[in-house]
Chain A
Amino acid sequence: MKTFIFERSELDRLVEILKRRDYKVIGPIVRDSAIIYDELTNINDLPIGWTDEQTNGMYRLKNRDDAAVFGWTVGPQSWKKFLFPPIQKIFATHKSPKGLDLQNSKKQTSQESAQTKYAFFGVRPCDLNAISIQDKVFLGGPFIDPVYERKRTGNFIVTVNCGQAGGTCFCASMGTGPKAGTGFDLSLTEVLNDKHHYFIVEVGTELGSDVLKSIKCIKATDENLTTVNEICSKTVKQMGRLLDTSNLKSILYQNSEHPRWERTAARCLTCANCTMVCPTCFCATIEDVTDLAGKQADRMRKWDSCFTLDFSYIHGGSVRASAKARYRQWMTHKLASWVDQFGTFGCVGCGRCITWCPVGIDITEEARAIRENQS
């Protein structure tokens, strides 16, 4: 893999070049006391000099005593909101004398095809893995999601390896970080010491190499590569959480009646926060929206959560009526049945579900409790 280094000042140019190539550049921005992802208007939008403090049910932004650009981990949002929008019109119909006219759905789909090209700037390795997991869900067949496919096509991805781990991070356990493996166009590692602030950049694709041509950079030395590895292994040691994945699938399948589920359910508010912040959760529902005259009807796809009663409702009642069944469904899906369905865990160890759980339920702690006291 080709590796180069460029100065901190060149980072601005990288964003500029992507914009010039007609990408809508999405990156991290401080908003409402959190780091979220939105369109970067200029480089100063980046969370320069910010860091985050996270533990069960707690997230706080703090000032750093340096000017690191990527000195934080992950916030409440993930890139899935761009590829799998929280609300998406599936089609529109209107009532005709015949009863149902589906023709204007054609206009709608063609309108959508004139679409923006996304450049995702500052993707964490855990989130990069989450994108590849959602690729399997939405593009793996037998049916393909046309919305996801359209939005995913032509993405330019700039990952940033993690120079520090968050309080709820466990990517090292899931094998998804803190260093990005594949799936990026460019992968950055930020280096900041007393005298020098620069980036080491690995090139993942031809396109990435092409973009890099417009930036002043020099070939990386072996010493630079060692620096990347040192930074990442330091981050591994900082991981806030650990999850032992050995034999995990069968442990969870075999312990579906473990008393722990009941105990956790007593705390769980079934609020669905964990599923909303999860970068891999893909469940959706459909809502019908009609105008006041009842002539026009839109079908809207919206993010849904297995924590709601409606989710499993069939005539006669909800299949998963108890909170125990719903928490068990979610966690068993992430760490067991996902493996059977898509050949990978549905968890990348980003820790968002731990941080954003209002009662601080910790998926790593739950898995450990069941593993250590199997029934």
Chain B
Amino acid sequence: MATDPELLSLKIDYKRNPMLPWPFQIQRVKHETEDTFTVELQPLGALEEFAFQPGQFNMVYVFGVGEIPISISGDPAKSRMLVHTTRAVGTVTKAMDKMRRGDILGIRGPYGTPWPIDHANGLDVVFVAGGIGLAPLRPALYEVVAHREQYGKVVLLYGTRTPLDVPFRQELENWRARFDLEIYVTVDRAMSGWRGNVGVVTNLISRAPFDPRNTMAFVCGPEIMMRFTTMELHKRGVDNEHIFVSMERNMKCAIGLCGHCQFGSVFVCKDGPVFQYGKIKDMLVKWEI
């Protein structure tokens, strides 16, 4: 496979046409929850590795159906396996949900700005995630856990709809069992047997164990959740320069040419998706920008 001349020749075209995807083969499909699934992909042809930085995304193309941006949810240290986690809610993700091991997807990327993990050296790190917003944060979690000694306290605050809507469940259990990670999960609606928190994720911020003066916060979830999370972080004393959020917008090209992802004066695809909160706060507090 690695020497397939037809696929090798793609490499030239890939440079000439930035809209041309690279074929990747599905190695595994894992259903995380009722509507959320993870695909593990391997590149075909001349491409053997796929390096990326936590927080970046790919354009994922399903033959004849369409192409959408999906954040990368895998471990950045494992560049031979590309991992995406998404909810089956739209035309393309529903088509992906039907795909199985051996099927082929087109991938363009990685695109966008990463979580600035380097800047968190020596600081406490707080991850605040809502719903599928945990997926773009997971690579950053991997990275922080892999170099755990470089950070102060590491906290994950995660909010989702019900106890059945928690993805990466085993992994979260494993992380929670460690003494050097603080993992808190809250749900909108509990059910019998649930011993965790109930309520919105922002409720967890006031009691979370971190030193607000020495903290870097990485936030990803629905816009409204990110707005209220930022308010709570401000109350604790974390300033705008130490809060990073990941934005979502419609994207057709991911290379700053189609215009769809404009958010005020920025293009989410090339200036984001990860932004320092201070850079976009004026736009985030307005409706329909």
Binding site for B on A (CB under 8 A): 90-91, 93, 95, 98-100, 102-103, 105-106, 109, 137-138, 142-146, 256-257, 282-286, 288, 290, 294, 297, 299, 301, 304, 306, 311-316, 319-322, 324-325, 329, 333, 336-337, 340-341
22 CB < 8 A contacts A-B: A91-B19, A95-B64, A99-B63, A100-B105, A100-B106, A103-B10, A105-B13, A105-B17, A106-B12, A106-B13, A138-B257, A142-B255, A145-B257, A256-B289, A283-B259, A285-B260, A297-B63, A306-B259, A315-B90, A320-B288, A329-B262, A341-B265
Residue of A256, A299, A315, A337 near B286 (CB, 8 A) is A256
Stretch at the interface among B143-151, B161-169, B179-187, B245-253: B245-253
Given contacts A103-B9, A145-B257, contact A312 B250 (CB under 8 A): yes
In the assembled complex, the Cα of A192 lies from the Cα of B19 at a distance in Å of 50
Contact A99 B104 (CB under 8 A): yes
The 3 residue pairs across chains A and B that have the minimum distance between CB atoms: A283-B259, A99-B104, A325-B288
Question: Contact: A91 with B17, CB < 8 Å?
Answer: yes
B41 to chain A, nearest CB (A): 12
Question: Which of chain B's residues have a CB closer than 8 A to the CB of A316?
Answer: 222
With beta carbons under 8 angstroms apart, the residue of A282, A306, A315 that contacts B89 is: A315
Secondary structure type dominating chain B contacts:
loop
B9, B25, B89, B255: the one contacting A143 at CB < 8 Å is B255
Q: Closest CB-CB distance, A354 to chain B, in whole Å?
A: 22
Q: For A286, what are the chain B residues with a Cβ–Cβ distance below 8 Å?
A: 66-67, 252-253, 258
B21 contacts chain A at the CB level, 8 A cutoff: yes
Contact of A95 among B63, B248, B252, B257 (CB under 8 A): B63
Binding site for A on B (CB under 8 A): 6-7, 9-10, 12-13, 16-23, 25, 63-67, 87, 89-90, 102-106, 222, 248-250, 252-253, 255-260, 262, 264-265, 267, 270, 286-289
The residue of chain B having its C-beta at the shortest distance from the C-beta of A338 within the complex is B265
* Bound: A99/B7 CA distance, A: 14
Known: A105-B13, A145-B257, A325-B288. A285 touches B20 (CB 8 A): no
Q: Who on chain A is nearest to B288 by CB?
A: A325
Determine whether the beta carbon of A325 is less than 8 Å from that of B19.
no
Do B64 and A294 touch (CB < 8 A)? yes
Assess A285 versus B252: contact at CB under 8 Å? Given A102-B10, A256-B286, A325-B288: yes
Chain A residues whose CB sits within 8 angstroms of the CB of B66 once the complex forms: 286, 288
Q: Report the Cα distance A137→B248, complex, angstroms.
A: 22
Q: Which A residues touch B258, using CB under 8 A? A: 283-286, 304
Whether B13 pairs with A340 at a CB distance below 8 angstroms is: no
In the bound complex, what is the Cα–Cα distance between A256 and B265 (angstroms)?
Answer: 13
A102 touches B106 (CB 8 A): yes
Contact of B260 among A137, A143, A283, A333 (CB under 8 A): A283
Please indicate the chain A residues that have their CB under 8 angstroms from the CB of B249 in the complex. 312, 314, 319
